[in-house]
Amino acid sequence: MKNNFGLYLHVPFCASKCRYCDFYSFAGSEAEMDGYVQAMRKHFSAFSAQMAGRTADTVYFGGGTPSLLGEKRLTALLDGARAAFDLAPDAEITVECNPDSMSDSLLRGLRDAGVDRLSVGVQSAHDDELRLLGRRHTFAEARDAILRAQDAGFGNLSLDLMYGLPGQTAERFLESVQALLDFQPAHLSCYGLKLEPGTPMGRENPVLPDEDAQADLYLALCDTLRTAGYEHYEISNWAKPGFRSRHNSRYWVLSDYLGLGPGAHSLLDGRRFAFPRDLAAFCADVPPAPEETVAGFADWSEYLMLGLRTADGVRRAPFEDRFGRSFDPFAARLAALSPHGLTAPVPDGWRLTEQGFLVSNLIIGETLSAGE
């Protein structure tokens, strides 16, 4: 519904740093985690009046490693959110988890608190790849955590996988894909490894599979998941019918969300703001600041950019209603790529094909330039 919003809570703690990761997260002490929960509850109160009359129909604990907070703190956060905001009775409530912090008591506590969706970082079914990535778990430990989550009643599980790792062959990657499919998860997210400057892997700069090899891995993944009955609904996301991530889907249509926590971003009524990536500032009640807009990068371009990453694509009526500008020049650029198999029509609009997803940056850049 138009007046609904998504609530995102950023948890900045991780037991240790994965070797590829440049997110804002660090190993927090028990006292820092307690201070974070207290601060979050104060920020809930600060936004409560502004959000009155609106219903949160999705809640997403992202990080970092939210499961590291443990069931007591996560339950306290959910209770605080329920006291400050109107949470829909059927709200989708997701918690990101890592296998090494998915104890039975955490799983029971989350289920009893009304959490209905877990997103588990698995990344690979091969222990040598997990070690290379600096993950804290083996695949056997991930398998054990997933099976216990399913036993605890979590039918709506999303599993994360990575591809394009140094030395990764198609055969090994597809073994990982199959190992995850054996759990019959409702949802899969799969991202290519990027070497970020300032991370251990970025400094080591290992040779990754080349562009053609990465494209082959991606297309093999698409084929395998299609055959297994998954809908490829966003460039990096697949779901069994009825199990798209409702929360993440909001981002892709620029639907309102309130993000709380150090480094969390918000979009409310056309206004964007973000908290500094600084736990101490968050705990000291430093309010979020308006986000700087990149020059020449208007909401209409972000709407097209995000929409073209989804299987639903971009459509004339919502675009023209929202931004008051013609869709024609963008439609013409997208239509021109259709004979090459890169785009396909959807009712009243266009989407990228899986071949198109492979070169999405180029297509999106070309499409946006029609609006200049």
Work out how close the CB of 142 gets to ligand SF4 at its nearest, in angstroms, rounded to a whole number: 12
Cβ atoms of residues 172 and 213 within 8 Å: no
Neighbours of 153 (CB within 10 A): 13
Any contact of residue 323 with ligand SF4 (CB under 6 A)?
Answer: no
Stretch that binds ligand SF4, among 16-24, 86-94, 261-269, 314-322 (CB under 6 A): 16-24
For the chain, the residue count is 372
Cβ atoms of residues 367 and 327 within 8 Å: no
Q: What's the CA gap between 81 and 77, in Å, rounded?
A: 6
Stretch that binds ligand SF4, among 19-27, 188-196, 219-227, 334-342 (CB under 6 A): 19-27
Strands 343-346 and 349-352: antiparallel
Any contact of residue 99 with ligand SF4 (CB under 6 A)?
Answer: no
Work out how close the CB of 193 gets to ligand SF4 at its nearest, in angstroms, rounded to a whole number: 11
Q: What's the CA gap between 261 and 35, in Å, rounded?
A: 12
Stretch that binds ligand SF4, among 15-23, 78-86, 278-286, 310-318 (CB under 6 A): 15-23
Any contact of residue 98 with ligand SF4 (CB under 6 A)?
Answer: yes
Total of chain residues touching ligand SF4, rule CB under 6 A: 11
Any contact of residue 18 with ligand SF4 (CB under 6 A)?
Answer: yes
b/e burial code for range 43-72 (CB count within 10 A of at least 16 → b): bbeebeeebeebebbbbbbbbbbbbbbbbe
Stretch that binds ligand SF4, among 17-25, 79-87, 175-183, 229-237 (CB under 6 A): 17-25
Residue closer to ligand SF4 by CB (options 149, 368) is 149
Residue closer to ligand SF4 by CB (options 17, 272) is 17
Name which of 275, 252, 256, 251 is nearest 267 in CA terms.
256
Ramachandran angles phi, psi of 366, nearest 5°:
-65, -40
- Binding to ligand SF4 (CB under 6 A): which residues in 50-69? 63-65
Any contact of residue 254 with ligand SF4 (CB under 6 A)?
Answer: no
Residue closer to ligand SF4 by CB (options 18, 337) is 18
Residue closer to ligand SF4 by CB (options 64, 356) is 64
Rule CB under 6 A: choose which of 9, 14, 125, 161 binds ligand SF4. 14
Determine the distance from the C-alpha atom of residue 28 to the mean position of all C-alpha atoms in its chain, rounded to a whole number.
23
Cβ atoms of residues 149 and 102 within 8 Å: yes
Any contact of residue 23 with ligand SF4 (CB under 6 A)?
Answer: yes
- Provide the angle, in degrees to the nearest 10, between the axes of the packed helices 30-48 and 70-84: 10
Residues that bind ligand SF4 (CB under 6 A): 14, 17-18, 21, 23, 25, 63-65, 98, 121
